[in-house]
């Protein structure tokens, strides 16, 4: 993650601080959200943005072909069990990503 040193006038800082308090968030989170919205001119859909964020966090697996030839033994259920096991614990992180995007759109 990169850092950005940004000088703002006292009034803007006060407004950002007040908003952060109202929303129970940090000034950094508010500033990131604002800059992110302004910087979103790349034409990607919301789904593409969420997928990109998940990929950046290393949570997006390549598409799996679930078929007999997808596993050397032809055991589709064993493959399914391995995939499910590999995904354990990512639900809360994905929920957080989706919540961030949902909050930003409201």
Q: What is the pLDDT of residues 36-51, one digit of tens each?
A: 777 766 677 777 877 7
Contacts of 93 (CB under 8 A, 6+ apart): 57, 59
Q: Is the pLDDT of residue 64 over 60?
A: no
**Taking the model in full, what pTM does it have?**
0.38
Contacts of 61 (CB under 8 A, 6+ apart): 83, 86, 87
Closest CA to 99 of 29, 38, 19, 14: 29
């Amino acid at each position: 993650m990169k850092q950005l040193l940004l000088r703002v006038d006292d009034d803007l800082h006060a407004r950002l601080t007040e908003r952060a308090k109202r929303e129970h968030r940090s000034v950094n989170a508010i500033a990131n959200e604002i800059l992110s919205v302004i910087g979103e001119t790349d034409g990607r859909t919301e789904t593409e943005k969420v997928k990109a964020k998940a990929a950046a966090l290393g949570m997006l697996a390549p598409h799996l072909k679930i078929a007999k030839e997808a596993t050397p033994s032809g055991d589709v259920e064993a493959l399914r069990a391995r995939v499910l096991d590999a995904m354990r614990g990512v639900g809360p992180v994905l929920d957080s990503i989706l919540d961030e995007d949902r909050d930003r759109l409201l």
